Amino acid sequence: MPVEFKNYIDGQWCNATNGKRFENRNPANWEEILGTFPDSDSEDIDRAVRSAAAAYDAWRLMPAPKRGEIIKRAGDLLVKYKEDIAREMTREMGKILLETRGDVQEGIDTAYYAATEGRRLFGHTAPSELPDKFNLSIRQPLGVAGVITPWNFPMAIPTWKIFPALVCGNTVVFKPAEDTPATAVRFVEILLEAGLPEKVIQLVNGYGSSAGMPLVEHPEVKLISFTGSTPVGKLISSVASKDLKRVSLELGGKNAQIVMPDADLELALDGVLWGAFGTAGQRCTATSRLILHEAIHDKFLPMLIKRAEKLRLGNGLEPATEVGPVINQKQFDRILSYLKTGKDEGAKLETGGERYTDGVCKNGFFIRPTIFSNVDPQMRIAKEEIFGPVLAVIKIKTLDEAIRALNNTKYGLSSSLYTRDVNAAFKAIRDIEAGITYINGPTIGAEAHMPFGGVKETGNGHREGGWPVFEFFTEIKTVFVDYSGKLQRAQIDNQ
């Protein structure tokens, strides 16, 4: 019998009130059931939110450095359990062990960074315009934070959100992706082992419509942090705005790498292979477009095809595997539909473009790394997020044309330029419409202490990571201390 996992609500591990469960399967071998999980609904969400709200006062009154110490211990436990978590994550969502280890490491880095920020929740002081008066601002938590996370980084992204939320003094109701609930359970277990007080964290498993939206709608939830698709993000924003909730959205991407004639072509080749086909292309920062200058296009494209065709597909637990499966049947079918779209639009299929079923891959959702050339910037495969191992190659004549092609999408998350020309690099940094720009590096690779997020329909202006995420999870209170002993009427007395 599969292992039966539970929610964590009101300080107890428990089933969904309705008794329903869903299966969690290995995308590399769909016959392998990793466990079953509560299929929760609004009743479970309500219990979780009310419990988190009741725990809020005691938690917010714990000094922030002490809250940081708990997160530091959670980071230590992530170090201790790193290999076990990584192996289970590979079974759960498919990406290779090298990448799941990196996923856990990102959580470790975030823990240590967030822990120190417990001593750095700075406000400001400023001189008053009136005598014998002191002005300052402080940062305070908001209350219950609803956190909704995706499946492609099932440890890293929850830590990006939950560690800062907790350090800032909020309590958290966590609704993970239904494709990666086991990693979420492990994460909550680690927080509890680290000494997080009961009820400060609540875990509610389930689907977006039955558990996610009730969390967004709940009147006692003060802020929502969501990573996922742009259509769902727009819906969350619309629903949350009815109660004026604070909302952070990290949404889709259609990222491009530009390669100019003066670039180190071998370095650029390594970058695009990793950016396009790492995690089977299932990253919001994945390189889904390659913009090549015409002077090197005919040289670079055959190099790329040759290397892509040598990438080894298989179970991510095997050391030789370089590309794992896509996450599930729905995503598999969606990617295949885009492969047909690319052909119908007139792009040239250079390699891939089909399911891969050799050997151990026969029971999984594997798609061969796919490259289209002769892609026009107006084609759907050049503008829409595919979220799979599919790369569209666009030929251009100038840097200005390359930047126009890169910007020709509703998304604006990550971008990359390979060049040795410092002037070209700074022009691209200025003119590319994206939240992130890499020079001589691929479009992927976040660092815990730097802001992460995008422009246009990639988000709503907030940032994960770095110092801005602590601003999202706190609100500013302005304080005036008047020790003059008399009524001072600000501008009225200051004319």
Q: What is the pLDDT of residues 371-402, one digit of tens each?
A: 999 999 999 999 999 999 999 999 999 999 99
Q: Domain holding 322: CATH number?
A: 3.40.309.10
What domain range is 301 assigned to? Answer: 255-439
Instruction: Answer yes or no: is 110 within a domain.
Output: yes
Identity (one letter) of the amino acid at 482?
A: D
* Mean pLDDT value of segment 12-35: 98
Instruction: Answer yes or no: is 126 within a domain.
Output: yes
Instruction: Answer yes or no: is 298 within a domain.
Output: yes
| pLDDT above 80: residue 411 | yes
Instruction: Answer yes or no: is 490 within a domain.
Output: no
Q: Same structural domain for residues 302 and 351?
A: yes
Catalytic member of 168, 284, 361, 385: 284
Instruction: Answer yes or no: is 101 within a domain.
Output: yes
Q: Domain holding 50: CATH number?
A: 3.40.605.10
Percent of the chain past pLDDT 70, that is, above it, reads 100
Token digits of residue 278: 């790492």
Beta-carbon count within 10 A of 360 CB:
15
Q: Same structural domain for residues 164 and 313?
A: no
Confidence label for 494 from pLDDT (cuts 50, 70 and 90): confident
* Mean pLDDT value of segment 457-462: 97
The rounded distance, in Å, linking the Cα atoms of 400 and 397 is 9
Q: What is the pLDDT of residues 183-232, one digit of tens each?
A: 999 999 999 999 999 999 999 999 999 999 999 999 999 999 999 999 99
| Residue 361 known to be catalytic | no
Confidence label for 424 from pLDDT (cuts 50, 70 and 90): very high
Instruction: Answer yes or no: is 336 within a domain.
Output: yes
Q: Same structural domain for residues 54 and 29?
A: yes
| Residue 284 known to be catalytic | yes
- Give the pLDDT confidence score for residue 495 in this predicted structure: 75
Backbone angles phi, psi at 123, to 5 degrees: -110, -160
Q: Same structural domain for residues 399 and 306?
A: yes
Catalytic member of 92, 99, 106, 250: 250
| pLDDT above 90: residue 493 | no
| pLDDT above 90: residue 107 | yes
Measured over the CA atoms of residue 329, residue 156, residue 437 and residue 261, the dihedral's sign is: negative
Q: Are strands 171-175 and 246-250 parallel, antiparallel or unpaired?
A: unpaired
Sheet holding 287-293, edge to edge: 348-351, 370-373, 390-396, 287-293, 255-259, 414-418, 436-439
Q: Same structural domain for residues 88 and 192?
A: yes
- Give the pLDDT confidence score for residue 490 in this predicted structure: 86
Q: What is the pLDDT of residues 241-270, one digit of tens each?
A: 999 999 999 999 999 999 999 999 999 999
Instruction: Answer yes or no: is 451 within a domain.
Output: no
Q: Same structural domain for residues 385 and 296?
A: yes
Q: Which residues contact 465 (CB under 8 A, 6 or more apart)?
A: 110, 160, 446, 447, 448, 449, 450, 451, 452
| pLDDT above 90: residue 149 | yes
The rounded distance, in Å, linking the Cα atoms of 478 and 369 is 54
Distance of alpha carbon 459 from the chain centroid: 11
Q: What is the pLDDT of residues 289-310, one digit of tens each?
A: 999 999 999 999 999 999 999 9
Q: Same structural domain for residues 246 and 262?
A: no
Q: Same structural domain for residues 124 and 209?
A: yes
Q: Same structural domain for residues 217 and 91?
A: yes
- Give the pLDDT confidence score for residue 49 in this predicted structure: 98
